[in-house]
Structure 1
Amino acid sequence: MPSWAWVTALTAGALVAVTFLAVEAGNGSRPTATAPTAQVKPTASPSPKAAASPGLGEDVKHQVPTASGEGRRIVYSLGEQRVWLVDPNNNYDDSFAVWPGTISPEKGSYAVSFRRDDGVGSDGVSIEHIVYFAVKEGMSIAFSNAVDGAAPSPAPGVSTGGIRVATTAGGAIWKFGALGTKISVVD
């Protein structure tokens, strides 16, 4: 069997095991969603993707997508390029604009499978608050923010699974997204 098949099988097995253990441990108390107090300001960037990110710095209240599930969860809308941190009563205090990578997760239900304080993204940027929840095409998919707070620029020819957020959003997702936290990916 080719080495990539072994790696894929081991990664899938590890995700299943971690998810199972996280669900079993998930009966304890969990933090509730809180809105960051600082206003997010877009970073100047030559990236048209960053400039077109919806809602960054706006005071508009965005509604949680209706088909995103029930209970405490992180909701990620592929079409709106936005994340919501939803409490057990289906309420939220805020939502955050995101800059998706070149590889997006499939629509469906996931759980936080792994977390890292910091690292380097596949685009070479130093990142923090890394919250992993899926694998697609051999690429890990996770929420994170750039340590320097910059919005990502397109990286020609580089596959990225990182879903970048502003620094305050990265901290909020990190605090909310304990192992096993449900993640709902919708249109």
Structure 2
Amino acid sequence: MAALTVLALAVVAFFAYQANAAPDRPGAGGKPDPTPVEEIVPDKPSETDGADDENPALPPDSGDGVRVVYSLSAQRLWLVAEAPDGLGEEVLHTYPAHRSTVDPEPGAYQVTRRDEAIPGSDGVPIQHVVVFHSDDEGIVFGFSAAVDGSLPDPSAQARTGGIRQSPEDSPQLWEFAEVGTPVIVVP
């Protein structure tokens, strides 16, 4: 009798494993599916002042409505959406970003181009490229993640405007920032 119970449990475990690894199951094959914007869980602020070290408060005078906010001094991004109740806004996600050799001027921009994967201006393969500005000198400013997780060298001789994110954070911006999404750069 015990042998039949063990056999039955083994069969159930095998079928559960097969169902979990099925190719039509989201995330099968070890590749995470992109997180749709409506499924991004907002970062939780601290209970004291609405911000903490991991989730600092949205900078003042950073616009309103749906937008990406990039702070030059904090080297950080915020993804801001309308609150679910339609009253106000909420920060969906905030995380560090790493500058290259040239910073964009503070101001209001919008996403002009997106590329799934391309070579970066520093020669490193990058993914989740979200471009928001090209200046008069032809320097292109945008957010991306190096496929190998490397960061730009701000002391390099080449003048580049790539703002790098971690490969863990870049899918959230990629899903959030469509062409036309406002990007606000603050000092």
Q: TM-score, normalised by structure 2?
A: 0.68
What percent identity do the matched residue pairs reach? Answer: 38
In the other structure, the counterpart of 2:106 is 107
Shift of 1:94: 2.5
Higher RCO (C-alpha under 8 Å, 6+ residues apart): 1
Structure 1 residue aligned with 2:118: 119
Segments of 4+ in structure 1 off by > 6 A? none
In structure 1, the gaps of 5 or more residues are 1-29, 38-57
Amino acid in structure 2 at the alignment position of 1:83: L
Work out the CA distance in 1 between the residues paired with 2:100 and 2:39.
Answer: 25
Partner residue, 2:168: 168
| Counterparts of 1:68 and 1:33, CA distance in 2 | 24
Q: Which residue of 1 aligns with 2:20?
A: none
Q: Secondary structure at the match of 1:167?
A: coil
CA offsets 1:127-172 (integer angstroms, 9 cap, x no match): 0000000012211111000011223344621111100000121111
SS at 1:63's partner residue?
coil
Correspondence for 1:150: 150
**Superposition map of 1:1-187 within 5 A:** 31-32=37-38, 34-35=40-41, 60-89=54-83, 90-136=89-135, 137-154=137-154, 156-187=156-187
Using the size of structure 1 for normalisation, the TM-score is 0.68
- Report the residue type matching 1:34 in the other structure: I
CA distance in 1, matches of 2:161, 2:103: 7
**Which ranges in structure 2 are unaligned for 5 or more consecutive residues?**
1-35, 44-51, 84-88
Aligned residues: 138
C-alpha spacing 1:145/1:67, structure 2 compared with 1 (3 Å): same
Instruction: Answer with 1 or 2: which has the greater Rg.
Output: 2
Superposed CA RMSD in Å reads 2.2
